[in-house]
Amino acid sequence: MQNFVFQNPTKIIFGTNTIKHIGEETAAFGNKALLVSGKNSSRKSGVYDQVQQSLKASGLAVIEHSGVRSNPVLNHVHEGIQLAKNNKVEVIVAVGGGSVVDSAKAISAGACAEHDVWKFFIGKKSVKKALPLTCVLTLAASGSEMNSGMVITNEEKKQKFGFANKLLYPMVSILDPTVTYTVPPDYTSYGAVDAIAHVLEYYFTTEDSHTPVQDRFMEGLVINAMESCDQALKNPNDYQGRANLMWSATLALNGLTGAGLGKVGFPMHMIEHSLSAFYDIAHGAGLSVVIPGWMKWKMQTDPTKFVQFAERVFHIVTGSDSEKAAAGIAHLEKWFQKINSPTSLSEADIPEKDIQKIAENAVELGKIWRMRKYDAQTIEEILALCK
């Protein structure tokens, strides 16, 4: 285990009937709030109205900024930043899934900067100040409700980039599993895939060969994410299934999974971001395409961790090491198929002829994330295993 510092300032309020607390929690950080939300889902479910009532009951003036897309875009962030500046907003409130929370984070940082917020994403500027952020989560997926990262798509440049900064942790996040009852099956599945992907990035890219505490923690998160997703798909109103999926997704990327692992990378996300940037595919759907291909590619040169994954997660104990590793990947791929998440480029309607273009795009993010060993040729090899 490597040296590490773990610090997470986000206060989590978890459970039923907790949305009513968003007003009092937000009021601790300011009197004028920018309320960031998606298109329609939070309104249809009634969550948006609950948040509005709580904010106003606590005396906050509210400026609304709705319309965040499932792959949040820079232009919409720019509009939010301008609203925040023009109205002298003091606090940001996000109501939605990871896309909404990410947009809110970008607005919170951009509202305190004189330059274009995109400079943060390309490594030209560092966040020095950000408006405080609170959120009400409506989708179990990204973990953005308890981490310092965010991802935004620059539509003009066809670049989906992400970065993290310690000033971007939400101050308070409210997680009420009952609000996810109305999440449709496809996005329930995509959210579970996203959570699993976050775990696997750490699990398979650490260079430390002795991380037993973290390994078993991450293996348990993968198992819990799959089991709770199955429960939620079988019965959308299964509270325990929704609650376990929501908390698993939060824990997957709140800093604990990476503690003590040393240097890690996010190659699967790096490649998927290009799929989202070009084809606007749901992030989890893109990940279920990339994950099996990347695992097959990585297993060829470093099978040890894949054998352990197969044995502990899927209880595969027979065969040679290479056979067990391959079987573990196949089991995960079959589970993706079971929950109707695509597992190939063709299933996702992504043309094979675009592989070179996708790879060249992914390389640009790889440079910013300091993953230079993933050159265009290597990424093309991985994508060829995703066909």
How much is the pLDDT for 114? 94
Adjacent-strand bridge partners of 13: 174
CATH 3.40.50.1970 range(s) for the chain read 11-179
Q: What is the pLDDT of residue 39?
A: 83
Percent of the chain residues topping a pLDDT of 90: 96
Chain-centroid distance, C-alpha 37: 17
User: How far is Cα of residue 299 from the mean position of the Cα atoms in its chain?
Assistant: 24
Class of domain 11-179: alpha beta
Query: Kindly report the CA angle at 139 between 266 and 214, in degrees rounded to 5?
Result: 40
Q: In this model, does residue 118 exceed pLDDT 90? A: yes
Q: How far apart are CA 287 and CA 79, in angstroms?
A: 29
Contacts of 303 (CB under 8 A, 6+ apart): 321, 322, 325
Mind listing the pLDDT tens digit for each residue in 198-226? Answer: 999 999 999 998 999 999 999 999 999 99
Interval 88-101 mean pLDDT: 97
Question: Measured between alpha carbons, how far is 365 from 379 in angstroms, rounded to an integer?
Answer: 12
**Whole-prediction pTM value?**
0.95
pLDDT band at 51 (very low <50, low <70, confident <90, very high): very high
pLDDT at residue number 199: 98
pLDDT at 45 over 90: no
Is residue 23's pLDDT more than 90?
yes
Listing DSSP states for 243-264 in one string gives HHHHHHHHHHTSSTTTTT--S-
pLDDT digits (tens, 9 = 90+) for 282-303: 999 999 999 999 999 999 988 9
With cut-offs at 50, 70 and 90, classify the pLDDT of residue 44. confident
> Strand pairing partners for 192?
none
CA atoms of 100 and 338, how far apart (whole Å): 28
Alpha-carbon distance 347 to 289, whole Å? 8
- What are the contacts of 352-358 at 24+ separation with CB within 8 A? 352/387, 354/278, 355/380, 355/383, 355/384, 356/380, 357/278, 358/271, 358/274, 358/275, 358/278, 358/383
Q: 263, 232 in Cβ contact below 8 A?
A: no
The whole-number pLDDT of residue 41 equals 79
Burial of 175 (0-12, 13-18, 19+ CB in 10 A): buried
Task: Determine contact, residues 130/109, Cβ cutoff 8 Å.
Answer: yes
The candidate with the shortest Cα–Cα distance to 154, out of 17, 277, 281, is: 277
Q: Percent of the chain beyond pLDDT 70?
A: 100
Instruction: Quote the mean pLDDT of the chain.
Output: 96
**pLDDT score, position 93:** 98
3-state secondary structure of 269: helix
Predicted pLDDT of residue 28: 97
Please, which pLDDT band fits residue 381 given cuts at 50, 70 and 90? very high
- CATH assignment of 183-384? 1.20.1090.10
**Letter string b/e over residues 266-277, b meaning 16 or more CB atoms within 10 A of that residue's CB:** bbbbbbbbbbbb
pLDDT of residue 62: 97
Provide mean pLDDT across the span 323-327. Answer: 96
For residue 154, what pLDDT is reported?
A: 95
Sheet holding 91-96, edge to edge: 11-14, 172-175, 133-137, 91-96, 32-37, 61-65
Query: pLDDT at residue 387 above 90?
Result: no
User: CATH 1.20.1090.10 spans which residues of the chain?
Assistant: 183-384
* pLDDT number for residue 372: 86
User: What pLDDT was estimated at residue 43?
Assistant: 82
Torsional sign, CA 129, 135, 138, 144? positive
Closest CA to 7 of 167, 155, 224: 167
